[in-house]
Amino acid sequence: MLILFWCIRRRARNALPADLPRVSILVAARNEEHNIERCIHALLNLNYPKTKLEIWIGDDSSEDHTLCRAQELSKNHPHIQIVEIAENLGRARGKANVLAHLAQEATGDVYFITDADIAVNENWVSGMLHGLKPGVGIVNGVTAVEGNGLQNVDWLFAMGMIKVITDLGKPVTAIGNNMCVTRESYESVGGYESIPFSITEDFELFKQINNQGYRLTQLLNRDVLATTRSVEGLKSLLHQRKRWMFGAVQLPVPIVSLLLFQALFHLAIIPLIISHLYLGCSILLLKVSAQICFILAIHKRLNLSVNWAALLFYEFYSFSLSVLSSIFFLIPTKIKWKGRKY
């Protein structure tokens, strides 16, 4: 049903306003010396009038050379400002604290938020602005993963599902590495310094802005596509998933039920295959086939090449990661994120 909805439903693209808004790009950076150059170069290549664009990069007490690299790269670019973040602002901590500080300095009508390990498309700003219309407070882009085909398929599958559910009128979250939020909606909740702290700061901001009556738009096209580095190592991947799951369990019951059904599918299908071989195999084949068609449709929409090995192996990867993530989530350990524990 979701795939049929994906194939049938198409929303008209909103026109850009005649008078382009002034935008502020906010980037929180911590221990990103190997990624910050790539991020800044992508932002410098944006196809948007420099007179209406400012870039704010906040260094979150990095323990490497992130700050020095950012300062060096921003020379001769007066629309880039580098800010050292040393104090907490209100209730904000970590990335949320950096963004809270930067938002107070920013002068734009729309805040664009991305991460220091992200490279955005040159049409990113104008592409995201197409999603804004009266009543919309947040616009999400879509992010792909470099360097790991399985992680990339996993991300794109999740992005596609978020797109479908959002278009059904049930938005679930903001995408913290690829989003924009209007100044009006951000200030309506008092900014990150005024809302409850969460390690899924994008989800918390979405909840608060949604409670104020603003809507969210999820885009899925080439212009709003950004790329991120893959997570290195199973332990780091599990910490990432544990952080995400803290946000996921706060979603509405119907969405949590769907996620739980997806996670428990294999635990149900294996006994069914053992007891009813043909029925179990038929259901599994139908599920995998539908999933592959869905992921291929996402690749086509984004004009991305397909890693067939990763796509065909994805079912086993998804099952294994779901089991390991669920176990790791239940273990009472703190989450490691950007060199800190939460």
**Stretch 309-315: mean pLDDT, rounded?**
94
The per-residue pLDDT for 326 is 84
Instruction: Decide which of 3.90.550.10, 3.40.720.10, 3.30.70.260, 3.40.50.2300 is the CATH code for 2-8+23-232.
Output: 3.90.550.10
For residue 148, give the nearest of 340, 296, 314, 330 by alpha carbon. 314
Q: Of all residues in the chain, what percent carry a pLDDT higher than 90?
A: 73
The per-residue pLDDT for 19 is 87
Decide which of 8 and 303 is more confident. 303
The per-residue pLDDT for 143 is 97
Report the run of H or E that residue 264 belongs to, with start and end. helix 253-275
- Nearest 5 degrees, angle CA 178-CA 55-CA 76? 140
The per-residue pLDDT for 241 is 87
**Tokens, residue 133:** 């219309």
For residue 174, give the nearest of 208, 144, 212, 149 by alpha carbon. 208
- Mark out the alpha helices in 74-123 (DSSP H runs): 94-105
* Average pLDDT over all residues of the chain: 92
Lowest mean pLDDT among 229-233, 259-263, 300-304: 259-263
Specify the domain boundaries for CATH 3.90.550.10 within the chain.
2-8+23-232
- Tell me the β-bridge partners of 57: 27, 82
The per-residue pLDDT for 8 is 65
pLDDT interval class at 243 (50, 70, 90):
confident
The 10s digit of each residue's pLDDT in 185-208 is 999 999 999 999 998 999 999 999
The per-residue pLDDT for 266 is 81
The per-residue pLDDT for 94 is 94
The 10s digit of each residue's pLDDT in 33-67 is 999 999 999 999 999 999 999 999 999 999 999 99
The per-residue pLDDT for 22 is 97
Which residue in this structure is represented by tokens 């700061």?
201
Judged against a pLDDT cut of 80, whether residue 5 lies above it is answered with no
**Tokens, residue 175:** 């995408």
pLDDT interval class at 25 (50, 70, 90):
very high
The per-residue pLDDT for 141 is 97
pLDDT interval class at 12 (50, 70, 90):
low
The per-residue pLDDT for 249 is 74
Q: What is the DSSP code string of 271-316?
A: HHHHHSHHHHHHHHHHHHHHHHHHHHHHHHHHT----HHHHHHHHH
The per-residue pLDDT for 9 is 65
pTM of the model: 0.92
The 10s digit of each residue's pLDDT in 141-185 is 999 999 889 999 999 999 998 999 899 888 989 999 999 999 999
Q: Of all residues in the chain, what percent carry a pLDDT higher than 70?
A: 96
For residue 47, give the nearest of 120, 130, 156 by alpha carbon. 120
The per-residue pLDDT for 13 is 72
**Stretch 15-35: mean pLDDT, rounded?**
92
The per-residue pLDDT for 21 is 96
What count of other Cβ atoms lies within 10 Å of the Cβ of residue 68?
14
